[in-house]
Homo-oligomer: A and B are copies of this chain.
Amino acid sequence: MISNKMRSLVQNGSVIRAMFEDGKKMAAQFGAENVYDFSLGNPCTPPPAKVAESAIDILRNEPEMMVHGYMSNAGYEDVRSAIAASLNRRFGTHFTAGNLIMTVGAAGGLNVALKTILEPGDEVLIFAPYFVEYNHYITNFDGVPVVVSPTADFSLNLEAAEALITPRTKALILNSPNNPTGVVYSAAQIGELADLLRRKSREIGHVIYLISDEPYREIVFENVEVPYLPSFYENTLVGYSYSKSLSLPGERIGYLVIPSEVEDFVETVAAASVANRILGFVNAPSLFQRVIGRTADLASDMSVYRENREILCRELSRMGFDFIPPQGAFYMFPKSLEPDDKAFCARAKEYRLLLVPGSAFMGPGYFRLAFCVSRQTVERSLDSFEKLAACYRR
């Protein structure tokens, strides 16, 4: 008697989550140290010490009725001001508390943004390969995901995007640094995308929103810069999460930025705040809002990701894997060693390697490797990767 939509979702399941559950079972069977679980984007570097220190200090010294109480649905004003100030310092923006809505992670923020703007049947473009939860976030509001096919180097396929824009196009979701490819889109390409969206918005007679999902902003390699989208395109909504930057995925804390330049700004902010409430989030978790108010400028130590990336790029390349070295996030997206990426990942499992088939990201023929694991896991896994590669050399 559950709904048909949910029944089919249960039957299809989330490949990544299924792997997560598999991983727990295999760890129990073979010992956790002998299972190389590269399946889930769960940070492996601890939060900065100031996170726990702040939480403890708040629990001890701020008035408990305020710390745990209801606040405006948009979140504590002082916290939003602190984040705005931090963004302004980093990106030369001019945000105030009024440009921010605290959300239950970026997933919460994206749902709030989509609830705010989508009419049933509205189309939302996404560049493949991508985090397929976007499909659910879009269909939650009866929107239609429209997939833009990838280029060979996973840069933005602007030609394909242009061809797919119709009068029903309401938004485009961009995720940079990208999950699953690790690509950071260049400022030149973002500029071209902004021009395209402006031109097409005029053509179809209404705004096309750019929704920037950027939980991986703080994880970049070799000093790559991640362009700040609101500086390129006025109708940008930014969904941010502290899940990766402060290693707090379980706490469900993030924010949505609605720049003052967005069309119908006042109404949009009000609507997003109402959406936050009626979707059942009500507000972002209060204690962690207050923690973020004190730690917005910090980030976890990302050196483990840098080291893992270096080892894996070097070793997997040596073994013959074909991939683009990630510029950000903690994912690699190599070609699978046989065309069927699911068969490849099933084979990998025989070597206790948990990898996610690219088709789970609308990127068949590839696999995703999440290197947010201990360096020891990476090192111990190499022998398995070697054996896996060897079976395809025979």
Contact = CB atoms under 8 A, between A and B. Distances in A.
Interface of A: 1-7, 9-10, 13-14, 17, 20-21, 40, 42-44, 46-47, 51-52, 55-56, 59-60, 64-65, 67-73, 104-105, 107-112, 115-119, 133, 136-137, 140-142, 206-207, 209, 247-253, 263-264, 267-268, 270-271, 274-275, 277-289
A142 B213 CA distance: 27
17 contacts: A1-B263, A3-B116, A6-B117, A6-B274, A14-B277, A20-B72, A47-B64, A71-B250, A104-B281, A109-B280, A136-B278, A140-B279, A252-B281, A252-B283, A279-B280, A281-B281, A287-B287
A10 B318 CA distance: 58
A42 B70 contact: yes
**A115, A277, A279 — most chain B CB neighbours (10 Å):** A279
Contacts of A136: 278
Contacts of A109: 280
B2 A264 contact: yes
B250 A283 contact: yes
Copies of the protein in its oligomer: 2
A283 B40 CA distance: 15
Contacts of A5: 119
A123 to B, nearest CB: 14
Given A10-B267, A69-B249, A118-B3, A285 B285 contact: yes
B252 A282 contact: yes
A278 B2 CA distance: 16
A236 to B, nearest CB: 13
A332 to B, nearest CB: 20
A289 to B, nearest CB: 8
Given A52-B60, A55-B59, A137-B278, A2 B107 contact: no
Given A21-B72, A46-B65, A278-B137, A286 B3 contact: no
A309 to B, nearest CB: 20
